[in-house]
Structure 1
Amino acid sequence: MQKNLISTKQAIYILIMFILGNSVMYTGSKAKQDTWLAVIIALVLFAPMMMVYARIVSLYPGKNLYAIVIDVFGNFFGKAIISLYVLYAISLGSLLMRNFSEFIHVVAMSETPKIVPLVFLFTLSVWMIKSGVETLGRWVRVALPVVFVSLLVTLFLSVKSMDFSNLKPVAGTEFNILMGSAFTIFSFPFAETVLFTTLFGSVKADSNPYKIYIYGIVICTLFFLAAGLRNAVIGLSLGMFYFASYAAVSVISLGEFFTRIEVLIGLAFLLDLFVKLCVCMFAASMGISKIVNIKNYKELAIPVGLLMMTLAIILFANILEMYDWLDIYKYFALPFQVILPLIILAGAEIKTRLK
């Protein structure tokens, strides 16, 4: 039976929404007015790793990261590496679920138990995993325009609230703080796209991985730059807020009639986060199916989702701990985002040349 595959455009759309993910809400950093500069530095840092990710999957057209690892390193070492990526996908998915729960709790329904939005998100995510990657590809074609319109509307409407003197002094941030912010943006969200390589088994074999990555990264970088500049020039002390973009857009209004524009940012955040969570669940389910030799990874959607939801509840005592984790996360994620991909690429290059 022939698999339903997603096209290059659909892959780019999924990648864009994956990168925007929960990061669209946190477009601010310790670099403050130089956040836009930190984004550019992060892009420069990530460019080599982007080429690494694309090169790995281009060496084995039609295969995803897990199939490549098994082919290059064999069953024993291959499954060990896959286990590490399953751990990473589950931990990231749990963090996304907690982000969603905290966002709903802080900005909308403070009296609602945090488990309620988690159950809602779990149900939708499991349904998507059981429907398959091709369904996600069709769904993002509808969701991405909504996200783009929401972000563009908030950008245009915020112009009258902007004061570009807030960008001064340009490059006035201390070098170590600026580079630390750039490293954070490198790790979250750019280098998280290593998990996107697990979907390439469902992308048409004639698709160009370089094109998918370059288009996705460039478009997202432009949005991060625009959002970072918007948040800075509006002039709020965004370090005081848990959700910087939501707080920045909350000051926008058109007279006394058209207010609460921040709901558009909330909508974009929820749609992007859902896609990113689905990719994490796909990565975890596919990985576990490889490890235990289950042919249909969709059978693992419910246990993987339950595990992520449980961890989302118990990982952090409160929202402060969740934010403190971001300073540690960039080091925790480094082996999965940089070290292992370099090892996999080296093995793949040697294996293909021997063949």
Structure 2
Amino acid sequence: MGDLDRVVVVGASAAGVTTAETLRREGHTAGLVLVGDEKVLPYDRPPLSKQVLAGTWEPERTALRPASAYTDHGIELRLGTPATGLDLARRKVVLSSGEEIGYDGLVIATGTTPRTLPFGHDLGGVHVLRTMDDALALRGDLLRSSSVVVVGAGFLGSEAAAAARRMGLDVTLVDPLPLPLVRQFGDRVATAIAELHEEQGVRLRMGTGVVALHGEGAVSGVELTDGSVLRADIVLVAIGAVPATDWLAGSGVPVDDGVVCDATCKAVDHVYAAGDVARWFNPRFGGLMRVEHRMNATEQGMAVARALLGAPTQFAPTPYFWTDQFDAKIQAHGVFPAEAEMVVAHGSLADRKFVAHYLVDGRVVGVLGWNMARQLLQDRHLITGLA
């Protein structure tokens, strides 16, 4: 990209921090600004629904780097001042304070924001879980309560339900889909996840939606599409997230379920995207892809930094992600399309210790391991992609 007098990274996320660190490590010596909407130092998000919610980690343990690391690397932090606009022609980022920061290279790493129900979020005891403040507020309410309804049985909802159950609460997990994580892993693994939750005392109300939250001032119940009402001291709404791109409206940056990028993660001249907000062309799988998982944020941040430094390459990773629920550690590499055939290659699904291969037209596109990490690592090379 030529000379970079100043790079601005918008999003004090894992992707944003990795981008900034890689820029410094690989030769960028000029200005470097990291903009974040929260006032705290950048932190890791996966522990929020697991260790922080369960109380096994103090919040400080989630910090991605100590404060000294930013000073030592000459990274200027602008925390608590979210970006509210972008002027591509003038190459300036507008902050909530009204300040404008010029850039020669811009990285968008703003992540996602939680979806909410169209009702009831003004009631006390109704939570989403995205930030550290969210996690601490939810934990505080859980410690004072006896029952929680978790709306949404994806990664976040299933993990939070497991954490709340281990804290001794009466937990009900609600989702309009027939099984937890069925969209992510298919019927067979999802059935095993459902059985695990039920064995641990989580009540499942699958195939059921939410039509209302009851209560005056504070939530007291959750009304389902079948007319039943679940008692609830606490409600966690975990129905997915949307890319945090509102601040880009009218800027000219292409947005469609994320910042749309080419195979090098470039959106437009001088502008790249990394992490949950990026929707880029992955040549390994032959299409646009947006990945909301921690490892991708790190790898993409490194790739974007190198592109800014004049060494762009096609970013073609095999996605990797994991979830911890009760005694289960489920790890996955690749993609898991609905049409894929699942074959248990090692171990036993009934024993909940296995590795499964997911095949499309006879080609392995994903491998999943349940409490079988070593064998999973040996099998991940089998993934061929779809392109």
**Does TM-score exceed 0.5, indicating one fold?**
no
Q: TM-score, normalised by structure 1?
A: 0.32
More helix by percentage: 1
Q: Which has the higher contact order (CA 8 A, sep 6+)?
A: 1
Q: TM-score, normalised by structure 2?
A: 0.30
